[in-house]
Amino acid sequence: MTQELRKKLLEIPKAELHLHLEGSLRPETVWRLAQKHQDHSRLHGLLSLADCRRLYSFSDFHGFIHAIKTASLLMVGPDDYAEVVKSLAWDLKAQGVAYAEVFLSVGIIIWRQLNPFTYFHAVENARLEAEAATGVRLAWVFDSVRQFGAEALDRVLDCAIQLQTSDSIVGIGIGGDEALGPATWFTRQFQRARAHGLLTTAHAGETCGPQSVWDTLNLLKPDRIGHGLHSVDDPKLLDALAESHVVLDICPTSNIKTGSWSSQLVHPAHIFYKRGIQIALSTDDPGIFDCTLLDEYMWLHDHGGFSAGELLTLATIK
């Protein structure tokens, strides 16, 4: 039954909506980049493939932040970003993914004092090549690090608006440490993004409690919320999420490996689903967490309380 279900899920053209480009680097890719940029790799102590694998061995959210930041810094030139885009498209094709919205951390590119337009043109050209080769359609969500503040999101949003002639840019988002960058900081920027026809998304309720989700829902009015895990602690919030039709991006392996959710507890994804909340299953950072989208579906079947029929329905939702 398990193999039959996996085969059926593979055959469904799926969408993945919560996927960070910088988090898609597997240890082998990190090692290739480390060998290419040895000054950077020595700085971060990445002197072997084993070191790159150890980088991804962590037990809490701060360890994860260190891992993705280090991986991002090894993507030095536009050609590195282009290589990662093409690799990601082939990985998605192998999972039967037809469409993916990919977070591109423009906030990190600007923070590194690089030209975001140069880097975007590199990933955009790679996207077009990858789509021609794989049939997988990618779109971009320009991401800002929330603890960098509201002005940093303004700069990311400026880039998205200037580049909007490319119909591959579908939205903006904020990630990072929600405790250090509350939703109250970003109300104006989310209003501005909507005024320009951009979709909006924000990580919330990943490491903080229900109030973080309430603030995000009421102040930012996003189209999607990343994770939303701890919404489960507030029945009124569950009702509000169901009524709002905001989509929760669900990433179980990520939640467990970052320590955002205990592996001893049943993941709340099925509670959200049964309460009528729209959910979208994703991998978040598949290279770091060593997971695939099919793995996530099967995890929900084996550990998350979902029936085969529910998963097949979830996979076909457009």
Domain boundary among 35, 50, 74: 74
Task: Report the Cα 190 to chain-centroid distance in Å.
Answer: 18
- The answer on pLDDT for 206 being more than 90 is yes
Domain of residue 206, CATH code: 3.20.20.140
- Work out the pLDDT band at 166, boundaries 50, 70, 90: confident
- Work out the pLDDT band at 165, boundaries 50, 70, 90: confident
**Domain identity same for 65 and 132:** no
* Tokens describing residue 91: 């990985």
**Domain identity same for 103 and 183:** yes
Q: Is the pTM of this model over 0.85?
A: yes
Secondary structure (3-state) at 226: strand
CB neighbour list of residue 274: distance below 8 Å, 6 or more residues apart: none
Rg from Cα positions in the chain: 18
**Domain identity same for 58 and 148:** no
Question: Among residues 214, 263, 259, which one has the least CA distance to residue 234?
Answer: 214
Q: For residues 193 and 313, give the distance between their C-alpha atoms in angstroms, rounded to a whole number.
A: 32
For residue range 52-93, what is the model confidence (pLDDT) as tens digits?
999 999 989 999 999 999 999 999 999 999 999 999 999 999
Is the distance from CB of 246 to CB of 217 less than 8 angstroms?
Answer: yes
The H or E element containing residue 171 is strand 169-175
**Domain identity same for 117 and 171:** yes
Q: For residues 192 and 204, give the distance between their C-alpha atoms in angstroms, rounded to a whole number.
A: 20
Task: Report the Cα 286 to chain-centroid distance in Å.
Answer: 9
**Domain identity same for 32 and 105:** no
**Domain identity same for 46 and 176:** no
**Domain identity same for 66 and 174:** no
**Domain identity same for 182 and 308:** yes
Domain boundary among 39, 59, 74: 74
- Of the residues 206, 243, 296, 310, only one is catalytic, namely 206
Query: What domain count does the chain have?
Result: 2
- Work out the pLDDT band at 200, boundaries 50, 70, 90: very high
Mean pLDDT throughout 199-218?
97
**Domain identity same for 36 and 164:** no
Q: Which residues constitute the domain of residue 284?
A: 2-25+79-316
For residue range 229-256, what is the model confidence (pLDDT) as tens digits?
999 999 999 999 999 999 999 999 999 9
Q: For residues 48 and 248, give the distance between their C-alpha atoms in angstroms, rounded to a whole number.
A: 38
- The answer on pLDDT for 1 being more than 90 is no
Task: Report the Cα 185 to chain-centroid distance in Å.
Answer: 21
**Domain identity same for 278 and 294:** yes
Environment class of residue 248 by beta-carbon count within 10 Å: exposed (0-12), middle (13-18) or buried (19+)?
buried
**Domain identity same for 160 and 60:** no
**Domain identity same for 68 and 125:** no
- Work out the pLDDT band at 126, boundaries 50, 70, 90: very high
Q: Give yes or no: 101 in active site.
A: no
Q: For residues 40 and 48, give the distance between their C-alpha atoms in angstroms, rounded to a whole number.
A: 13
